[in-house]
Amino acid sequence: MASPAPRATLEQWRVLREIVQTGSYARAAEKLHKSQSTITYAIQRLEFQLDVKIFTLQGRRAVLTDVGKVLYRRAMQLLEEAAALEKAAAELAQGWEPEIRLAADIAYPTWMLLECLDRFSSQRPTTRIELYETVLGGTSQALLEKQVDLAISPIVPQGFVGDPLISLKFIAVAAPRHPLHQGDEPLEYTDLQRHRQLVIRDSGPKRQHDAGWLGAEARWTVSHKATSIRAACMGLGFAWYPEAMIRKELASGALKPLNLRKGALRYAQLYLVIAEPEYAGPGIRLLADLLQQSDSPDPSGDKPDKPYTPGSTPANPDKAPDDSATATAANTP
């Protein structure tokens, strides 16, 4: 059975949205480039068609009734859906998206990402890629604010669906000359708290995540993983890094795993999230498929999931994955 034709138009719901967001009929009229009488009529007509009272006046300010609040929330969803539909139609009319915006948490192996983008570009050389290298909350924020089309994230924000992409192992390390390597006994967490921890800043505007920070007062917070790794190699602090990120430093001896009694290894999961899967164009779907299929060796020829097993790394009985927020350098405030 076919649904009845809607009595209200998108334009009426748009008028409702602007009145709420601007706070008055006059300002809504100005923003929509319409007369105030046109705005007033649109709302009166909407109330008549639906047989409800949407606004009540408090002084000169239009305030939503309880029914109006419900309708406003649903109207916002409807307008967003209509905008997404029109965007999808425009992209489909072009065949392929001219640009794809991707947010990738810095814990994801760089060479895997670049080789995947290279394979994508070999098939779609005219499609531009806008890459955002993010940390923890920054990836979620990019999705929530509709800044990206897809994301590689340690956190799947509410309202989104993510597919597991890669599991990462993090190793606690420091330079061989660091004081934490000078003793013979296994280290406790209290030993770490006496030394400087290197952390990578959450790139989200609110910086709400502090996964992996031990609470030590001696802490350096940096914005880039290269800075953190360089500082660790210089003996300026300790940190947990994804094994694949520091493969060369481990092999050369520039960094050495800490002999922790517990917690030397941590595990985390990254997810692939498509912002609007039902409206994803062919380019977004292709890039997502390539990311899911990616199993690329790093420049040294080792597979990224090949374990590094130095003799000084203690066995870790606690192999249960940490909270997903641990997935960026495992030391991120």
pLDDT of res. 306? 37
Mean pLDDT to the nearest integer, 104-131: 92
**pLDDT bracket for residue 311 (50, 70, 90):** very low
211-241 per-position pLDDT tens digit: 454 555 678 989 889 999 999 999 999 999 9
Decide if 278 contacts 169 (C-beta within 8 A).
no
Torsion angle in degrees (nearest 10) through CA of 178, 183, 189, 192: -20
Where on the phi/psi map is residue 207: left (φ > 0), alpha (ψ -120 to 50), or beta? left
Decide if 252 contacts 242 (C-beta within 8 A).
no
Question: Range with the lowest mean pLDDT among 105-109, 166-170, 297-301, 328-332?
Answer: 297-301
Q: Return the CATH architecture of domain 10-94.
A: Orthogonal Bundle (1.10)
Rounded distance, CA 115 to CA 294, Å?
9
Q: Return the CATH architecture of domain 105-333.
A: 3-Layer(aba) Sandwich (3.40)
Q: And the tokens for 300?
A: 């040294």
pTM: 0.64
Q: What average pLDDT is seen over the chain?
A: 83
Q: And the tokens for 315?
A: 């066995």
Q: What is the DSSP letter of 76?
A: H
Rounded distance, CA 128 to CA 295, Å?
23
Task: List where CATH 3.40.190.290 sits in the chain.
Answer: 105-333
